[in-house]
Structure 1
Amino acid sequence: MADGEELDVDAGKIGCMAAKFASLGGTLSDAQMVKKLLDTVPESLFAAVAGIEQFCDVETICFDEVLGRLKAFQERTERRKAAVGGERRGDQLLLTDAQWEARRRQRGGGHDHDDDDGGSSVASGAKGRHGRCYNCGVRGHFSRDCRQPRKEKALLADVDDEPALL
Protein backbone atom coordinates (compact mmCIF):
# COMPACT_ATOMS: atom_id res chain seq x y z
CA MET A 1 0.00 0.00 0.00
CA ALA A 2 1.39 3.40 -0.98
CA ASP A 3 1.47 6.39 1.38
CA GLY A 4 -1.22 8.31 -0.52
CA GLU A 5 -3.52 5.32 -0.98
CA GLU A 6 -6.71 5.10 1.06
CA LEU A 7 -7.23 2.33 3.60
CA ASP A 8 -10.55 1.46 1.97
CA VAL A 9 -8.78 0.71 -1.31
CA ASP A 10 -6.32 -1.62 0.39
CA ALA A 11 -9.10 -3.29 2.36
CA GLY A 12 -11.03 -3.74 -0.88
CA LYS A 13 -8.03 -5.45 -2.46
CA ILE A 14 -7.78 -7.84 0.48
CA GLY A 15 -11.53 -8.49 0.25
CA CYS A 16 -11.17 -9.29 -3.46
CA MET A 17 -8.33 -11.65 -2.61
CA ALA A 18 -10.60 -13.42 -0.10
CA ALA A 19 -13.35 -13.67 -2.73
CA LYS A 20 -10.89 -15.21 -5.23
CA PHE A 21 -9.81 -17.73 -2.61
CA ALA A 22 -13.45 -18.62 -2.00
CA SER A 23 -14.13 -19.03 -5.73
CA LEU A 24 -11.20 -21.41 -5.97
CA GLY A 25 -12.48 -23.47 -3.06
CA GLY A 26 -10.13 -22.16 -0.40
CA THR A 27 -10.76 -19.92 2.57
CA LEU A 28 -8.96 -16.86 3.83
CA SER A 29 -9.62 -16.44 7.55
CA ASP A 30 -10.03 -13.11 9.37
CA ALA A 31 -6.68 -13.65 11.06
CA GLN A 32 -4.92 -14.03 7.71
CA MET A 33 -6.69 -10.96 6.33
CA VAL A 34 -5.74 -8.94 9.44
CA LYS A 35 -2.10 -9.97 9.13
CA LYS A 36 -2.08 -9.04 5.45
CA LEU A 37 -3.62 -5.64 6.20
CA LEU A 38 -1.18 -4.90 9.03
CA ASP A 39 1.77 -5.89 6.83
CA THR A 40 0.76 -3.58 3.98
CA VAL A 41 -0.08 -0.31 5.76
CA PRO A 42 2.09 2.76 5.07
CA GLU A 43 4.74 3.94 7.51
CA SER A 44 2.48 6.73 8.79
CA LEU A 45 0.28 4.07 10.43
CA PHE A 46 3.03 1.99 12.05
CA ALA A 47 2.24 3.40 15.50
CA ALA A 48 -1.35 2.18 15.20
CA VAL A 49 -0.18 -1.22 13.95
CA ALA A 50 2.16 -1.54 16.94
CA GLY A 51 -0.69 -0.68 19.30
CA ILE A 52 -3.04 -3.20 17.70
CA GLU A 53 -0.41 -5.95 17.78
CA GLN A 54 0.49 -5.16 21.40
CA PHE A 55 -2.98 -4.79 22.93
CA CYS A 56 -5.18 -7.01 20.74
CA ASP A 57 -5.08 -10.68 19.87
CA VAL A 58 -4.34 -10.63 16.15
CA GLU A 59 -5.55 -14.24 15.84
CA THR A 60 -9.08 -13.49 17.08
CA ILE A 61 -9.70 -9.83 16.21
CA CYS A 62 -12.16 -9.09 13.41
CA PHE A 63 -10.87 -7.62 10.15
CA ASP A 64 -13.45 -4.81 10.22
CA GLU A 65 -12.42 -3.82 13.74
CA VAL A 66 -8.76 -3.51 12.72
CA LEU A 67 -9.74 -1.49 9.65
CA GLY A 68 -11.86 0.83 11.81
CA ARG A 69 -9.02 1.38 14.28
CA LEU A 70 -6.59 2.18 11.48
CA LYS A 71 -9.06 4.62 9.90
CA ALA A 72 -9.63 6.35 13.24
CA PHE A 73 -5.89 6.71 13.78
CA GLN A 74 -5.38 8.07 10.26
CA GLU A 75 -8.18 10.63 10.64
CA ARG A 76 -6.84 11.74 14.02
CA THR A 77 -3.34 12.30 12.65
CA GLU A 78 -4.71 14.22 9.66
CA ARG A 79 -6.72 16.50 11.97
CA ARG A 80 -3.66 17.08 14.13
CA LYS A 81 -1.55 17.99 11.09
CA ALA A 82 -4.26 20.39 9.93
CA ALA A 83 -4.52 22.00 13.38
CA VAL A 84 -0.76 22.52 13.58
CA GLY A 85 -0.80 24.13 10.16
CA GLY A 86 0.63 21.29 8.14
CA GLU A 87 -1.82 20.04 5.57
CA ARG A 88 -5.17 21.58 4.78
CA ARG A 89 -8.05 19.72 3.20
CA GLY A 90 -10.51 21.25 0.78
CA ASP A 91 -13.39 21.21 3.26
CA GLN A 92 -11.64 23.49 5.76
CA LEU A 93 -12.44 27.17 5.61
CA LEU A 94 -9.96 29.83 6.66
CA LEU A 95 -11.22 33.36 7.26
CA THR A 96 -9.38 36.61 7.82
CA ASP A 97 -9.95 38.66 10.96
CA ALA A 98 -12.11 41.11 9.01
CA GLN A 99 -14.25 38.27 7.66
CA TRP A 100 -14.74 36.86 11.17
CA GLU A 101 -15.74 40.31 12.42
CA ALA A 102 -18.23 40.76 9.57
CA ARG A 103 -19.69 37.32 10.26
CA ARG A 104 -20.06 38.11 13.98
CA ARG A 105 -21.77 41.43 13.23
CA GLN A 106 -24.11 39.74 10.74
CA ARG A 107 -25.19 37.26 13.43
CA GLY A 108 -25.89 40.04 15.92
CA GLY A 109 -22.81 39.76 18.07
CA GLY A 110 -21.12 42.97 16.93
CA HIS A 111 -19.39 45.56 19.06
CA ASP A 112 -22.28 48.01 19.34
CA HIS A 113 -22.95 48.53 23.05
CA ASP A 114 -26.24 50.42 22.75
CA ASP A 115 -29.31 49.37 24.70
CA ASP A 116 -32.81 49.68 23.32
CA ASP A 117 -33.41 52.72 25.51
CA GLY A 118 -30.38 54.59 24.11
CA GLY A 119 -28.05 54.04 27.08
CA SER A 120 -24.75 52.26 26.95
CA SER A 121 -24.55 48.77 28.39
CA VAL A 122 -21.00 49.43 29.55
CA ALA A 123 -22.20 52.51 31.44
CA SER A 124 -25.00 50.48 33.03
CA GLY A 125 -22.51 48.13 34.66
CA ALA A 126 -22.53 45.15 32.28
CA LYS A 127 -18.90 45.26 31.21
CA GLY A 128 -18.30 43.30 28.02
CA ARG A 129 -21.68 41.58 27.90
CA HIS A 130 -23.46 41.94 24.59
CA GLY A 131 -26.32 39.53 25.09
CA ARG A 132 -30.01 40.33 25.40
CA CYS A 133 -31.97 39.17 28.44
CA TYR A 134 -34.64 36.63 27.56
CA ASN A 135 -36.68 37.73 30.56
CA CYS A 136 -36.96 41.51 30.12
CA GLY A 137 -35.44 41.99 26.64
CA VAL A 138 -32.81 44.56 27.68
CA ARG A 139 -29.26 44.18 26.42
CA GLY A 140 -26.34 44.00 28.80
CA HIS A 141 -27.31 41.15 31.11
CA PHE A 142 -28.59 37.62 30.97
CA SER A 143 -31.89 36.28 32.24
CA ARG A 144 -30.22 34.50 35.17
CA ASP A 145 -28.99 37.94 36.39
CA CYS A 146 -32.23 39.82 35.65
CA ARG A 147 -33.76 41.83 38.49
CA GLN A 148 -37.23 41.87 36.93
CA PRO A 149 -39.76 39.28 38.15
CA ARG A 150 -39.48 36.07 36.19
CA LYS A 151 -41.92 35.60 33.35
CA GLU A 152 -43.89 32.41 33.70
CA LYS A 153 -44.00 30.18 30.67
CA ALA A 154 -47.38 28.73 29.80
CA LEU A 155 -47.26 24.98 30.25
CA LEU A 156 -50.91 24.31 29.50
CA ALA A 157 -52.52 24.81 26.10
CA ASP A 158 -55.94 26.41 25.75
CA VAL A 159 -58.40 23.97 24.18
CA ASP A 160 -60.17 26.80 22.31
CA ASP A 161 -56.88 27.84 20.64
CA GLU A 162 -55.79 24.29 19.79
CA PRO A 163 -58.70 22.22 18.47
CA ALA A 164 -56.31 19.40 17.54
CA LEU A 165 -55.82 18.64 21.24
CA LEU A 166 -59.40 17.38 21.61
Structure 2
Amino acid sequence: MLELTELKKRALETLESDFESLKMGVDESLDVYAGKISEVALQASNLGHTMNDKKLVRKLLNSVPEKFIQIVPAIEQFVDLGVMPFQEAVGRLKAFEERTKKKNKEVDMHDRLLFTKEEGKEKVKEQKWEHCGHESSKQGNKECCRVKYEKTWKNKLGNQAQQDKDHIKCFKCNERGHFRHECPNWKRREETNLIRDEDDEPTLL
Protein backbone atom coordinates (compact mmCIF):
# COMPACT_ATOMS: atom_id res chain seq x y z
CA MET A 1 0.00 0.00 0.00
CA LEU A 2 2.84 2.32 0.84
CA GLU A 3 4.57 1.54 -2.44
CA LEU A 4 1.35 2.29 -4.38
CA THR A 5 0.98 5.66 -2.67
CA GLU A 6 4.59 6.50 -3.45
CA LEU A 7 4.13 5.56 -7.09
CA LYS A 8 1.06 7.81 -7.38
CA LYS A 9 2.96 10.63 -5.76
CA ARG A 10 5.78 10.34 -8.28
CA ALA A 11 3.33 10.06 -11.16
CA LEU A 12 1.55 13.20 -9.97
CA GLU A 13 4.88 15.04 -9.73
CA THR A 14 5.65 14.03 -13.31
CA LEU A 15 2.23 15.21 -14.48
CA GLU A 16 2.67 18.49 -12.63
CA SER A 17 6.03 19.01 -14.35
CA ASP A 18 4.51 18.20 -17.74
CA PHE A 19 1.64 20.58 -17.02
CA GLU A 20 3.98 23.45 -16.14
CA SER A 21 6.07 22.92 -19.29
CA LEU A 22 3.08 22.99 -21.64
CA LYS A 23 3.18 25.87 -24.12
CA MET A 24 1.14 26.43 -27.26
CA GLY A 25 3.08 26.56 -30.52
CA VAL A 26 2.70 29.49 -32.90
CA ASP A 27 1.11 27.31 -35.61
CA GLU A 28 -0.58 24.90 -33.22
CA SER A 29 -4.37 24.58 -33.20
CA LEU A 30 -6.10 25.99 -30.13
CA ASP A 31 -8.26 22.86 -29.91
CA VAL A 32 -5.19 20.63 -29.96
CA TYR A 33 -3.45 22.62 -27.23
CA ALA A 34 -6.57 22.78 -25.06
CA GLY A 35 -6.82 19.01 -25.50
CA LYS A 36 -3.29 18.59 -24.10
CA ILE A 37 -4.21 20.56 -20.98
CA SER A 38 -7.41 18.56 -20.52
CA GLU A 39 -5.51 15.28 -20.95
CA VAL A 40 -3.07 16.13 -18.16
CA ALA A 41 -5.97 17.15 -15.92
CA LEU A 42 -7.73 13.85 -16.66
CA GLN A 43 -4.63 11.80 -15.84
CA ALA A 44 -4.24 13.68 -12.58
CA SER A 45 -7.88 13.01 -11.75
CA ASN A 46 -7.33 9.28 -12.32
CA LEU A 47 -4.54 9.42 -9.74
CA GLY A 48 -6.84 11.06 -7.22
CA HIS A 49 -5.77 14.68 -7.77
CA THR A 50 -8.12 17.36 -9.10
CA MET A 51 -6.93 20.30 -11.22
CA ASN A 52 -9.71 22.88 -10.94
CA ASP A 53 -10.86 25.18 -13.74
CA LYS A 54 -9.12 28.17 -12.19
CA LYS A 55 -5.74 26.46 -12.56
CA LEU A 56 -6.50 25.27 -16.11
CA VAL A 57 -7.74 28.72 -17.23
CA ARG A 58 -4.67 30.43 -15.76
CA LYS A 59 -2.39 27.93 -17.52
CA LEU A 60 -4.19 28.46 -20.84
CA LEU A 61 -4.05 32.26 -20.75
CA ASN A 62 -0.39 32.33 -19.67
CA SER A 63 0.86 29.95 -22.36
CA VAL A 64 -0.85 31.00 -25.60
CA PRO A 65 1.28 32.70 -28.31
CA GLU A 66 1.55 36.43 -28.99
CA LYS A 67 -1.31 36.47 -31.51
CA PHE A 68 -3.72 36.34 -28.52
CA ILE A 69 -2.01 39.26 -26.77
CA GLN A 70 -5.02 41.55 -27.22
CA ILE A 71 -7.72 39.22 -25.92
CA VAL A 72 -5.92 37.79 -22.88
CA PRO A 73 -5.71 41.09 -20.91
CA ALA A 74 -9.36 41.79 -21.77
CA ILE A 75 -10.45 38.43 -20.33
CA GLU A 76 -8.33 38.95 -17.22
CA GLN A 77 -9.80 42.43 -16.70
CA PHE A 78 -13.51 41.83 -17.34
CA VAL A 79 -14.02 38.17 -16.34
CA ASP A 80 -13.72 36.54 -12.93
CA LEU A 81 -11.11 33.86 -13.57
CA GLY A 82 -11.95 32.21 -10.27
CA VAL A 83 -15.34 31.00 -11.51
CA MET A 84 -14.74 30.92 -15.27
CA PRO A 85 -15.04 27.40 -16.77
CA PHE A 86 -12.06 26.15 -18.75
CA GLN A 87 -14.17 25.51 -21.88
CA GLU A 88 -15.51 29.07 -21.77
CA ALA A 89 -11.94 30.42 -21.82
CA VAL A 90 -11.17 28.21 -24.81
CA GLY A 91 -14.32 29.44 -26.58
CA ARG A 92 -13.41 33.11 -26.04
CA LEU A 93 -9.94 32.57 -27.48
CA LYS A 94 -11.36 30.69 -30.47
CA ALA A 95 -13.87 33.46 -31.20
CA PHE A 96 -11.07 36.04 -31.14
CA GLU A 97 -8.92 33.86 -33.41
CA GLU A 98 -11.73 33.51 -35.96
CA ARG A 99 -12.37 37.27 -36.04
CA THR A 100 -8.67 37.91 -36.53
CA LYS A 101 -8.45 35.43 -39.41
CA LYS A 102 -11.51 36.98 -41.10
CA LYS A 103 -10.08 40.48 -40.76
CA ASN A 104 -6.71 39.37 -42.16
CA LYS A 105 -8.44 37.77 -45.14
CA GLU A 106 -10.33 40.99 -45.86
CA VAL A 107 -7.12 43.04 -45.66
CA ASP A 108 -5.30 40.54 -47.87
CA MET A 109 -8.10 40.61 -50.45
CA HIS A 110 -8.06 44.42 -50.44
CA ASP A 111 -4.28 44.43 -50.99
CA ARG A 112 -4.63 41.91 -53.81
CA LEU A 113 -7.25 44.05 -55.55
CA LEU A 114 -5.04 47.14 -55.27
CA PHE A 115 -2.06 45.21 -56.61
CA THR A 116 -4.11 43.86 -59.52
CA LYS A 117 -5.35 47.35 -60.34
CA GLU A 118 -1.84 48.85 -60.30
CA GLU A 119 -0.50 45.91 -62.30
CA GLY A 120 -3.19 46.52 -64.92
CA LYS A 121 -2.17 50.18 -65.20
CA GLU A 122 1.45 49.20 -65.73
CA LYS A 123 0.49 46.74 -68.46
CA VAL A 124 -1.49 49.45 -70.27
CA LYS A 125 1.55 51.75 -70.10
CA GLU A 126 3.81 49.00 -71.45
CA GLN A 127 1.46 48.27 -74.35
CA LYS A 128 1.30 51.98 -75.13
CA TRP A 129 5.05 52.14 -75.82
CA GLU A 130 5.41 48.75 -77.56
CA HIS A 131 6.32 48.19 -81.21
CA CYS A 132 7.97 51.51 -82.00
CA GLY A 133 10.06 49.72 -84.60
CA HIS A 134 13.41 50.19 -82.89
CA GLU A 135 15.56 47.28 -81.89
CA SER A 136 15.84 48.72 -78.41
CA SER A 137 12.07 48.52 -77.98
CA LYS A 138 12.24 44.75 -78.38
CA GLN A 139 14.67 44.75 -75.47
CA GLY A 140 12.27 46.65 -73.24
CA ASN A 141 13.62 50.19 -73.70
CA LYS A 142 10.48 52.24 -72.95
CA GLU A 143 12.33 55.56 -73.30
CA CYS A 144 13.01 54.78 -76.94
CA CYS A 145 9.32 54.12 -77.56
CA ARG A 146 8.28 57.22 -75.64
CA VAL A 147 10.48 59.49 -77.75
CA LYS A 148 9.17 57.83 -80.91
CA TYR A 149 5.60 58.37 -79.70
CA GLU A 150 6.18 62.05 -78.92
CA LYS A 151 7.92 62.71 -82.26
CA THR A 152 5.02 61.13 -84.12
CA TRP A 153 2.51 63.43 -82.47
CA LYS A 154 4.71 66.48 -82.99
CA ASN A 155 4.91 65.68 -86.70
CA LYS A 156 1.15 65.27 -86.88
CA LEU A 157 0.59 68.58 -85.14
CA GLY A 158 3.17 70.26 -87.39
CA ASN A 159 1.49 68.94 -90.52
CA GLN A 160 -1.89 70.06 -89.25
CA ALA A 161 -0.54 73.54 -88.50
CA GLN A 162 0.88 73.77 -92.02
CA GLN A 163 -2.46 72.74 -93.50
CA ASP A 164 -4.19 75.43 -91.46
CA LYS A 165 -1.85 78.08 -92.94
CA ASP A 166 -2.34 77.02 -96.56
CA HIS A 167 -5.00 79.71 -96.99
CA ILE A 168 -2.82 82.43 -95.39
CA LYS A 169 -1.38 85.07 -97.77
CA CYS A 170 1.89 86.81 -96.93
CA PHE A 171 1.65 90.64 -97.05
CA LYS A 172 5.29 90.94 -98.09
CA CYS A 173 5.68 88.51 -100.97
CA ASN A 174 1.97 87.85 -101.69
CA GLU A 175 2.56 84.09 -101.59
CA ARG A 176 0.43 81.67 -99.57
CA GLY A 177 1.45 79.30 -96.80
CA HIS A 178 3.08 81.62 -94.26
CA PHE A 179 2.71 84.82 -92.30
CA ARG A 180 4.62 88.04 -92.98
CA HIS A 181 7.10 87.53 -90.11
CA GLU A 182 7.85 84.02 -91.46
CA CYS A 183 8.42 85.19 -95.06
CA PRO A 184 11.54 83.44 -96.42
CA ASN A 185 11.70 85.70 -99.51
CA TRP A 186 11.70 88.85 -97.41
CA LYS A 187 14.45 87.50 -95.19
CA ARG A 188 16.57 86.77 -98.22
CA ARG A 189 15.96 90.34 -99.51
CA GLU A 190 16.98 91.82 -96.18
CA GLU A 191 20.17 89.75 -96.18
CA THR A 192 20.94 90.83 -99.75
CA ASN A 193 20.34 94.49 -98.95
CA LEU A 194 22.56 94.22 -95.88
CA ILE A 195 25.40 92.81 -97.96
CA ARG A 196 24.97 95.60 -100.53
CA ASP A 197 24.99 98.26 -97.83
CA GLU A 198 28.21 96.84 -96.46
CA ASP A 199 29.79 96.88 -99.96
CA ASP A 200 28.69 100.47 -100.57
CA GLU A 201 30.24 101.80 -97.35
CA PRO A 202 33.26 104.05 -98.12
CA THR A 203 36.59 102.67 -97.14
CA LEU A 204 38.55 104.81 -94.74
CA LEU A 205 42.16 105.40 -95.84
TM-score (norm 2): 0.41
Name the SS for the 1:85 alignment partner. helix
User: In structure 2, what is the Cα distance between the partners aligned to 1:60 and 1:46?
Assistant: 22
Residue 52 of structure 1 aligns with which residue?
Answer: 75
1:39 aligns with 2:67: no
Does 1:67 pair with 2:61? no
Tell me the secondary structure at the aligned position of residue 60 of structure 1: coil
Structure 1 residue 85 corresponds to structure 2 residue 72: no
Write out aligned runs for 1:12-161 (5 A): 12-85=35-108
The letter of the residue matching 2:79 is C
d(CA) in 2 for partners of 1:62, 1:32: 10
Matched letter for residue 47 of structure 2: L
Matched residue type, 1:70: L
- The 1-side partners of 2:80 and 2:28 are apart by 26
CA distance in 2, matches of 1:34, 1:17: 13
Identical-residue share of aligned pairs (%): 46
Letter matched to residue 49 of structure 2: G
Q: TM-score, normalised by structure 1?
A: 0.51
Structure 2 counterpart of 1:10, one-letter code: Y
Deviation at 1:20, TM superposition (A): 1.0
Report the structure, 1 or 2, having the larger helix content.
2
Alpha-carbon distance between aligned partners in 2 of 1:71 and 1:25, rounded to the nearest angstrom: 31
Shift of 1:69: 0.5
Q: How many residues align?
A: 87
Could you list the runs of 5+ residues in structure 2 that have no partner in the other structure? 1-23, 110-115, 117-205
Unaligned residue ranges in structure 1 (runs of 5+) = 87-95, 97-166
AA aligned to 1:14 is I
Q: Following the alignment from structure 1 to structure 2, what is the Cα–Cα distance between the partners of residues 33 and 77?
A: 24
Runs of 4+ in 1 over 6 A off after TM superposition: none
Residue type of the partner of 2:95? Answer: A
Larger RCO: 1 or 2 (CA < 8 Å, sep 6+) = 1
- Look at both structures and tell me which one has the larger radius of gyration over its CA atoms: 2
Residues of 2 paired with 1:53 and 1:80: CA distance?
A: 24
Q: Which amino acid aligns with 1:65?
A: E
Corresponding residue SS for 1:76: helix
